[in-house]
Each structure stands twice: as structure tokens, then as C-alpha cells.
């Protein structure tokens, strides 16, 4: 018999983990790192989303087959999600249109809906300064379909693992029969990460999972993931990497989240939990703004550099990774802090007034 879902509570360590994950993505994009360190952040975010959203759906009984009133409660869930995510997102889109960003100006409807992941799949290239929005589109599509999938599967590990396997199968079949280009931006390709997060929500308190919730297993799992990347690229097996890396990474993210959830805030044997540091808590709380604006800034920065500096050598220096990071980091943090103070925090207060019906 499965244990009951534990109460939904604020976990500050997860806020610190968000800070680490979002800056892995930001720095990977700003520095054009050859190793896919940004994928570690993205996979962790998607697994975390599966963990949190599945917990809300089960706890609040928002899925078909739940007690009477599940439809009204599901509407409340969508209202809360929309209020938290969409206004800051649309503000970022407006700023991008004013910049202007060519892809956003040419295809505005794909971003407004938002289905930008389908646009990038159709175009087979990333838009200038908007390429990261595909993950937000996938996340919002996940919110729409996941309550209904959980209603079909119930709170059972086997069907969830089958969903994870189906994502791997989808990537293989779609790449073979249709096209391998940009297959990873389609929602079915990402379901393994969300499903593994849901599995963690079920088994997080089991003794076996608690035994694995140790830092050495986290390091070993991500080292194995990195070794897979090295082996597939050294042997020119890039297709194999694209097929399996999110599934393998989901396992590493599963262990990472298990370790974070079971790590004590303060303990004599473990010391202070670094994820609870004031800096990471501050950044993690503002991680959404960091993610929203992090690809807009390099576009603006590049235009300024080309306007100010006439020679190629000077431009090359200022657009190299170190000056880019040093100059854009405080600007991004300021933008994220402004977004949080004037928009996100007030919206969160409104969101919290939307209570689920009994």
C-alpha cells in the first residue's frame, strides 16, 4: 500500500536548488559552454516541476475520478498557475517586442498562446533572444494535460514509469520516422522528466529512497551522465545521446532532489545546508525573473558593443564570456529583483487568495 501524500509545505532548500539550476542554464547560454551544463539545470527543473505539480494534483484532488468538485478545483489550479506565471511572461514578451526581437515580431501568436516550442520545431532554429521560451511552453502544456493523465494512471509507480519509457520511445520513433531535428522540444519528449518527478513524490519517504539520498550518489549519477556525454561524442554517437540523455538525467535529478529533500537544515555531521544560504534563497526566489530575461540581455549587449566599438578585435574581447558574465550578471539580478518586487510578489498574494473548494 502506498503511503499518503505528505502535506504541501514550503521547502526552502528547493528554493536554493532553483537558484543553482537557473544559473547553470544562464551561464551555459552566456558562455556558450561546450559541455551541456545548462541541461543539468533544465532537467532538474522539469523533474522538480513533476514532483511539485503532481503533489498538488494529488493532495488537492484535481484529477478526473477525484471526489465531487474536482473540476472546480482544477479551474482554481489553472487560475493560480496563470496568475503566477503569465503576467511576468507577457511583460518579458512586451520588452522583447520593443527591443525588437525579430522572431517575436514575426511570430507573436506562437508566444502569446504560448506554443513557442512548436514554432521552433517548425522553423528548426532558435529565435533571437527567445529560444529559452520553449521550456516555458512545455511546462504550461504539461500543466494542462497532467491532471488528466494522473486521473488515468492513478497514484501508481508502474504507469508513471511506463510514461517515462514512452518519452524515450517517442524520441526514437519520431526521430526515425519523422525528423530528429528539435524533437526534444515536443511535450511527449519531456514526459520522462515530469513522470520521474511524480514517482519521487510517491516514494520520497520510503527507506530505500532515503538510503540513496546522499551526496555521493548524486555526484556519481551526474558523473555517469557526463561520462555518457563524453562517450557518445567521442564515438560520434550523437543520436544515442539525444535519445537517452534526458531519461538518464532524470535519474540523476531524482537522486539530487531526494538528497535535497532529506538533507537537514543544520546538523552536526552535515554542517549547514548551503542551499539555505541567504544568497541562494534570494536568487532562488527571483529565479523566474532571471530565466525570463537572461537571453534578452545578450542581444541588447551585443547591439551596444557593435554600436560603441568599431574594430573586430575590440568587439571580440567585450563579447567573450568573462566580460559578458561580469557585466550582465548585476543587470539580470536587478531586472529579476524589480520583477519580483513590483509584479511577482504582489501576484503571489493574489494567487494565495484563490483557495481550493472543499
Reported as a single tens digit per residue, the pLDDT across 166-182 is: 999 999 999 999 999 99
In angstroms, the CA 22 to CA 14 distance is 12
With H, G, I as helix, E, B as strand and everything else as coil, classify residue 266. Answer: strand
Find the domain containing 311 and state its range: 12-352
In a domain, 51, yes or no: yes
In a domain, 341, yes or no: yes
In a domain, 6, yes or no: no
Read off the pLDDT of each residue in 261-286 and give the average, rounded to a whole number.
79
> 53 falls in which pLDDT band (50, 70, 90)?
very high
**pLDDT of residue 358 exceeding 80:** no
Read off the pLDDT of each residue in 36-40 and give the average, rounded to a whole number.
97
In a domain, 107, yes or no: yes
> 67 burial class (0-12, 13-18, 19+ CB within 10 angstroms)?
exposed
In a domain, 2, yes or no: no
Q: Which three cell numbers stand for residue 254?
A: 531524482
Q: Which three cell numbers stand for residue 160?
A: 508513471
In angstroms, the CA 203 to CA 217 distance is 17
pLDDT one-digit tens code per residue, 99-136 = 999 999 999 999 999 899 999 999 999 989 999 999 99
pLDDT one-digit tens code per residue, 232-269 = 999 999 999 999 999 999 999 999 999 999 987 654 34
> 10 falls in which pLDDT band (50, 70, 90)?
confident
Where do we find the cell 513533476?
Answer: 50
Name the domain count of the chain.
1
Which residues make Cβ contacts (< 8 Å) with residue 280, sequence separation at least 6? 15, 16, 19, 20, 274
Q: What pLDDT, on a 0 to 100 scale, did the predictor assign at position 9?
A: 67
In a domain, 339, yes or no: yes
DSSP assignment of 84-110 equals: HHHHHHHHHHHHHHHTT-HHHHH-HHH
In angstroms, the CA 284 to CA 15 distance is 5
Read off the pLDDT of each residue in 84-90 and give the average, rounded to a whole number.
97
**pLDDT of residue 345 exceeding 70:** yes
In a domain, 357, yes or no: no
In a domain, 150, yes or no: yes
Amino acid at each position: 500500500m502506498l503511503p499518503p501524500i505528505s502535506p504541501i509545505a514550503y521547502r526552502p532548500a528547493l528554493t536554493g536548488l532553483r537558484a543553482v539550476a537557473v544559473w547553470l542554464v544562464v551561464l551555459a547560454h552566456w558562455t556558450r559552454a561546450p559541455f551541456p551544463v545548462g541541461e543539468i539545470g533544465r532537467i532538474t527543473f522539469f523533474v522538480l516541476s513533476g514532483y511539485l505539480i503532481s503533489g498538488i494534483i494529488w493532495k488537492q484532488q484535481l484529477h478526473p475520478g477525484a471526489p465531487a468538485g474536482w473540476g472546480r478545483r482544477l479551474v482554481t489550479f489553472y487560475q493560480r498557475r496563470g496568475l503566477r506565471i503569465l503576467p511576468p511572461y507577457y511583460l518579458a514578451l512586451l520588452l522583447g517586442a520593443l527591443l525588437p526581437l525579430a522572431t517575436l515580431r514575426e511570430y507573436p501568436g506562437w508566444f502569446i498562446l504560448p506554443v513557442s516550442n512548436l514554432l521552433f520545431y517548425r522553423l528548426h532554429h532558435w529565435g533571437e533572444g527567445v529560444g529559452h521560451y520553449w521550456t516555458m511552453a512545455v511546462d504550461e502544456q504539461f500543466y494542462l494535460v497532467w491532471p488528466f493523465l494522473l486521473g488515468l494512471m492513478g497514484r501508481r509507480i508502474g504507469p508513471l514509469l511506463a510514461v517515462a519509457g514512452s518519452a524515450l520511445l517517442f524520441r526514437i520513433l519520431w526521430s526515425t520516422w519523422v525528423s530528429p531535428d528539435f524533437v526534444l522540444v515536443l511535450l511527449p519528449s519531456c514526459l520522462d522528466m515530469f513522470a520521474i518527478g511524480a514517482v519521487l513524490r510517491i516514494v520520497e519517504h520510503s527507506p530505500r529512497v532515503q538510503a540513496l539520498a546522499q551526496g555521493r550518489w548524486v555526484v556519481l549519477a551526474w558523473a555517469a551522465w557526463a561520462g555518457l556525454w563524453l562517450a557518445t561524442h567521442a564515438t560520434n554517437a550523437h543520436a544515442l545521446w539525444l535519445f537517452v540523455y534526458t531519461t538518464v538525467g532524470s535519474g540523476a535529478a531524482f537522486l539530487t532532489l531526494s538528497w535535497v529533500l532529506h538533507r537537514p537544515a543544520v546538523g552536526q555531521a552535515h554542517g549547514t545546508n548551503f542551499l539555505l544560504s541567504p544568497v541562494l534563497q534570494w536568487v532562488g526566489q527571483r529565479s523566474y525573473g532571471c530565466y525570463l530575461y537572461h537571453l534578452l540581455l545578450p542581444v541588447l549587449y551585443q547591439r551596444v558593443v557593435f554600436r560603441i566599438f568599431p574594430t573586430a578585435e575590440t568587439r571580440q574581447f567585450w563579447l567573450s564570456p568573462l566580460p559578458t558574465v561580469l557585466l550582465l550578471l548585476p543587470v539580470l539580478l536587478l531586472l529579476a529583483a524589480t520583477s519580483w518586487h513590483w509584479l511577482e510578489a504582489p501576484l503571489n498574494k493574489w494567487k494565495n487568495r484563490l483557495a481550493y473548494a472543499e
